[in-house]
Structure 1
Amino acid sequence: MEKRKDLYTREAILIKSDLVEALQNDANEIVAIEKGKNRQRHLLLPFSYSDFKNLLIKFGTACLYKRCQNKNFVIDENNEPVIKQLFYYVTHNPTFSGELSKGILLQGKYGCGKTILLETYSMLHNHVVKKFFLNHSLLLFIKSVELQEQIRKQSVKYFVKRPMIIDEFGRESKTIQDYGNVIRPISELLSLRSDVGTLTHGTSNFTLNTLSSEEFYGRMIGDRLRMMFNFITLPGESRRN
């Protein structure tokens, strides 16, 4: 009986001579749909570079004042090359030095300005989305320690599909006790977000090699980090004074 079914299948395929072409067309259509979804993940900001810099200064200053730091956001020789790459990224410019389909992980020394730069970007992104009622998700800006605690209190599923910026990536405890069980909330979240392709950004004081070590997330998660992020280094010493 099974052999007869196989014969019927082969006969049906032979009769429909254009089957391969039809399947190829279907595959091309699926690829086009998925490409469209990937483009939709990014909010395209239609700014010139000078406008983008000025907006970062304004919103960055607002971020600093929210922290009770009475000073202006400054663009200088240390952060401007990174800001230019961020501009290429948010305007979908092929000049961007990485892959536009990935998120951005800013690396650098303590206090060099990684957090304020991406927090400023998230504020600008969210303000544009809300002001113009755009069909884009808001960016959740959250420290890794707080994120881990939220996962423990709620569930990892609440954070799998939401676009986010994870600040101080790698600073959290890698394992925690939950009702007697040892769990790895951030590792599990990264794995799930990688599987579904959720856009993730972050900041970290650690290199990819360090994050991929057994003392941190291990080689398996490290390999996923390579797939998820463009690793960009922000040079310079601490701006905290």
Structure 2
Amino acid sequence: MKTIDRTQKIDVEALKSQLATLRTIPQRFKLPLSEQQAYDALLAAYQTEVANRQASFVSNPMLEKNIAAMAKALTLANPKFGIMLCGTCGNGKTTLLRAFQLLLNFLNGKGYFEQSTGIRIVDAKDISALMRDPHTKTVRNTPMLAIEDMGREATEVLDYGNVLSPVVDLLEYRYNEQLFTFITTNLNAKDVRQKYGARIADRFNEMLCVIPFTASSFRGKTLNT
């Protein structure tokens, strides 16, 4: 790269081209399927997860809408680098996350991805221990990570007298590195802002496709989660 001559006007486009060689643009995750194929595949995986819990699957418009929203988010030409399923308990968030994991494992086994692809699911309450343990600290660099039940964990923890915010630290790191992050939570947007602060809430707007679950609990009914 030539030295910048302070007597001349900078050629912005030329400099931008040279600066780009110093940065690696992260490749965001995208399902190797059409939007309709992704919907059908997620629906099949969801039904499989319901059957695995020895329950009967009964579709409804809200569930179909949520699966369709997720299929669209996962097949966009320029996708975000995460998904958040939010809403009250018992209405299908975890089942859809597990369905996504099942579908990924299936597609991976069939050679749909150039590199081995899967998603690691961790409970939000376990993140504090995982972040402190040097043997499991790689959780923050996991290419695809799902945080289950975000909001149930303590926002701050004490570690040898130091106040830490493990989930916030993890989310900020993954935001900066543009690593795919999947979240399920019973919190709504207002709750997220109150619990984690405006900084994280603002990053979520860029980072995550938010899919609200507004149906009542399926537990104890014919449609199970």
In the TM superposition, what is the alpha-carbon distance from 1:198 to its structure 2 partner?
A: 1.2
2:105 is matched with which residue: 126, 130, 150? 126
Greater mean deviation of Cα atoms: 102-111 or 149-158:
149-158
The question of 1:78 aligning with 2:62 is answered yes
> In the TM superposition, what whole-angstrom CA distance separates every residue of 1:171-210 from its partner, at most 9, and x where no partner exists?
1111223234332111111111112111112111111221
What percent of counterpart residues are identical? Answer: 25
The question of 1:187 aligning with 2:154 is answered no
In the TM superposition, what is the alpha-carbon distance from 1:62 to its structure 2 partner?
A: 3.5
> In the TM superposition, what whole-angstrom CA distance separates every residue of 1:145-164 from its partner, at most 9, and x where no partner exists?
13333223347851222221
Contact residue 45 and residue 90 of structure 1 kept, 8 A: no
Q: What count of residue pairs does the alignment treat as equivalent?
A: 216
The one-letter code sitting in structure 1 at the alignment partner of 2:32 is L
In the TM superposition, what is the alpha-carbon distance from 1:48 to its structure 2 partner?
A: 5.8
> In the TM superposition, what whole-angstrom CA distance separates every residue of 1:81-130 from its partner, at most 9, and x where no partner exists?
1111111122226xxxxx72241111111101111112211221232123
2:199 alignment partner in structure 1: 220
The question of 1:232 aligning with 2:218 is answered no
1:46 alignment partner in structure 2: 33
Q: TM-score, with normalisation over the residues of structure 1? A: 0.75
The one-letter code sitting in structure 1 at the alignment partner of 2:130 is Q
| Structure with greater proportional helix content | 1
The question of 1:158 aligning with 2:138 is answered yes
Alignment of 1:57-76 (within 5 A): 57-66=43-52, 69-76=53-60
Stretches of structure 1 that go unaligned for 5 or more consecutive residues are: 1-5, 94-98
1:96 alignment partner in structure 2: none
Q: TM-score, with normalisation over the residues of structure 2? A: 0.80
1:138 alignment partner in structure 2: 118
Contact residue 156 and residue 185 of structure 1 kept, 8 A: no
Stretches of structure 2 that go unaligned for 5 or more consecutive residues are: 221-225
Contact residue 61 and residue 71 of structure 1 kept, 8 A: no
Bigger Cα Rg:
1
1:22 is matched with which residue: 1, 14, 27? 14
